[in-house]
A and B are shown apart, each in its own frame.
Chain A
Amino acid sequence: MANWIFLIPLAPLIAAVVNFIFGRWYLRDRAHWLAILGVAISFGVSVAVVAQVARDEVALSQHLYTWIPAGDFQVPVTLTVDQLTAVMLLVVTGVSLLVHIYSVGYMHGDPGFYRFFAYLPLFVFSMLMLVLANNYLLLFVFWEAVGLCSYLLIGFWYRRRSAAQAAKKAFVVNRVGDFGFGLGVMLIFVHLGTLEYTGVFAQVGALPQGTITAIALLLFTGAIGKSAQIPLFVWLPDAMEGPTPVSALIHAATMVTAGIFMVARSWPIFAASPDAMLVVAIIGAATAFVAATIGLTQYDIKKVVAYSTVSQLGYMAFALGSGAWVAAIFHLTTHAFFKALLFLGAGSVIHAMHDEQDMRRMGGLKRHLPLTYWTFLIGSAANAGIFPLAGFWSKDEVIVGAWVGGRPIVAIVGLVAALFTSLYMFRVVFLTFHGPERFDAHTVHPHESPPVMAVPLLILSVGAVFAGFLGVPPERGVFHRFLEPVFSGHGAEVHHVSTATTLTFGLISTAVALAGLGLAYAAYVRGAIKPAVVAARLGPLYQLAYRRWYFDEIYEALIVHPLYRLSVWLWRVVDIGIIDGAVNGVAGLVNFTAQRWRRVQTGLVANYALAIALGTVIIVGVYLIVGSTLFQ
């Protein structure tokens, strides 16, 4: 199978290119066929490749060509599939395929239909190359490429000013993280002279502790940006301006997990630096907590799901920071299922409500959208960690991992966040699907989505229910055994978790999740607790969460505004005054001189011809006298 790996990224790339070139004039409403075919090929080949990896338990790789052959600096384009990549391959291609199918219904009739189905396979291509890369430079290139696709897709409806600005914001904020990532890659190259994973990991232990920490933190900066950790998470909620399938695929299931993937991929570097690990764990925990609090207070259905994504990414990050690599990847996998499901479900709701996103104008939709309701409920329960759905197993494992990894505080923060998670998830469910119908029934007639949108929902909900069983029994499930070879060696610590600990935490988290469910039920169905009263009671704390912890305002005041002032100054003084002044001055000088000389031009062609003839006579004469032997 190793010789067919190239097909995995190539098929979507071809689909993207063909749709770009021919979409506008020829394919138009048929653009999705090619895209789905490309991703389906990709998925099929991935399954075959992963099957072989699972059977033989060795990494496959295919060398395509050498991108940069410059002396010692060799950047080969080699596609490598080890167990970690295999998991990512299945997640990326599988979710992509479902989202592509879903999009056919969701984007139907959009004038940019062909454009959408050109960007989406392009993203799939970039993401696959990102996970298949075998060196940091290639990873970095496609890291930027997925960023570009994200930009294009957030700004898909680019005529809407808010969408255009959200796209810009995502791009700029990601640049901050990518800058750090780029520095980290350079630092690796400077110290180790290679960028290939195997070479780097083999040598990293020999570096001084400070250097390792610096590399690890710089790499993690990239992950902070891409995986929306504090303090760079502000772009992700705004990214919901893009079409909902994009939110599901890029901003929930795949691209945002690239940071997690990258850290897991570089685990030997992190494992060698306890300081960096601590930072990762703290930032992850903080992200999980902060995003969960914000999620409690939002009314936009997509925004809640978006903050939930940020929060879950925080879980993955602190799992990484606690050394629970497998748990992080496990959570990544299950999260991909239920979060994609939630987004697609939210999209289905929005579609049904004629582009209404505010939950305060929904309610009682259970009757109208039974299928959407049940699938969304499964997704919510999985996200909340209700036994025995996917989220329960993975989240529980993450928290246990933090506990046994020597970070009890982090684990406790995780449990608190889990309470909030359960609360906001069921808040969404109850506000949207239960209670009275708060929309105008005369203008809005909710209707169930077409089959092409419903089928992906069903498949994903099956995944959301059963994906968790890959990790059962905890710590020794299929998933763990599969990934074990990746996270061994290089001085990896293995924590043995006693059955008692596992059981205890399972019970605690189940209790926490049910508590959240109960609170939500009391507040939004029974009305026993008045949310408004609670909000008023909490006062500043509520405002803090509602205003998203003032991150945007702080950035606006501290960074954007001063930069804007500086730019204006540069424009007014430097650009207009100095640069334009110099250019115009030169032009003015030329103009002044030319005005003196232009009298020579008579405008009569005959005179010019005479001048040419005169010049010819003179030149020939000079040549005869000087250059020839005539007079010598």
Chain B
Amino acid sequence: MSAEVLVFDILGAIAVLAAAGVVLARNPVHSALALVVSFVNVAAIYVILRAEFLAAAQIIVYTGAILVLVLFVIMLVDPDNLPEFHGGRPVQRLLALILGLALLGEVMAAILTRTIVGQPGPWSPQAVAAVGGNTQALGRVLYSGYVLPIQVTAVLLLAATIGALVLARPDTPRVRALVRDTATISLAHPRGSEMANGVEPALPALAAGQLKLEAGERTLVMAKSGDDFLDQPVWGERHQS
């Protein structure tokens, strides 16, 4: 048993135990802590696997950002009601355990009987060292063969950011319903220098309740369709014929 295997066994055991702790802990904060431990150990295992860049990325992204966010949300959601909702669902627990064991059995069978097909790739440790280390080697692979996926990932991240903004936006259903139900046509909002004429805009006579002054100073005339005002001269338009 080499020292490498010993180190791996220790790290792996801690990672698995911590992972079990994530599932078993009653308090979500403790779960998160256990997950941190698991992630850090997995990152250490990455270093054994000569993936130093990914180890750093793992810590920065997972532990440094995602889990901090999770903790943030845990504390924000309901700090007084954090303990887990226990009890109930005995059937599901049993089913889940059976399924988990079955999958474990299947996967272990696959792992233990596996054979390697195909040739080893070009990035032997010597080749990696020749270009200056794991980071440089990964960069070469990434920016030569995976430029499009990188850009797609960038777009994905942007989309996720926008999605998060939308989700986090406080929604006021009343306003949305109002906008949905009535199209708004602003006839009395001259834009630009037409105001200089000093002529009052010709507004159609309004039924009671049609005029909403909700959107600030600007007068909104609610109309069911543009046809209602088609024959109305627009602001500043010549009256012909």
Contact = CB atoms under 8 A, between A and B. Distances in A.
A610 B95 contact: yes
Nearest to A114: B192
Contacts of A29: 192-193
A157 B237 contact: yes
Nearest to A609: B96
Contacts of A159: 229-234, 237
B172 interface: no
B103 A616 contact: yes
A624 B102 CA distance: 13
A630 B192 CA distance: 77
Interface stretch (B107-115, B132-140, B204-212, B217-225): B107-115
A350 B240 CA distance: 9
B8 interface: no
Contacts, number: 78
B89 interface: yes
A354 B197 CA distance: 16
Contact of B92 (A241, A350, A610): A610
Interface residues on B, range: 20 to 34
A28 interface: yes
B96 A630 contact: no
A111 B106 contact: no
B124 interface: no
A617 B97 CA distance: 12
Nearest to A29: B193
A401 B213 CA distance: 70
A110 B236 contact: yes
B119 interface: no
A606 interface: yes
Interface string B184-195: 000000111110
A355 interface: yes
| A interface SS class | helix
Contact of B109 (A355, A616, A624): A624
A109 interface: yes
Given A29-B193, A109-B194, A610-B92, A630 B110 contact: yes
A109 to B, nearest CB: 6
B235 interface: yes
Interface in A73-120: 109-111
Find the residue from B106, B110, B236, B239 having the highest chain A CB count within 10 A: B106
A170 B111 CA distance: 77
B81 interface: no
A357 B241 contact: yes
A24 B191 CA distance: 9
B237 to A, nearest CB: 6
A617 B197 contact: no
Nearest to A619: B106
A616 to B, nearest CB: 7
A109 B99 contact: no
A614 interface: yes
Nearest to B103: A617
Given A161-B230, A616-B103, A621-B106, A606 B89 contact: yes
Contacts of B193: 28-29
A111 B237 contact: yes
A621 B110 CA distance: 10
29 contacts: A28-B193, A110-B236, A111-B190, A111-B192, A111-B234, A111-B236, A111-B237, A157-B234, A159-B233, A159-B237, A160-B233, A161-B230, A241-B241, A355-B239, A355-B240, A357-B241, A610-B92, A610-B99, A613-B103, A614-B99, A616-B103, A617-B99, A617-B106, A620-B107, A621-B102, A624-B109, A624-B110, A628-B113, A630-B110
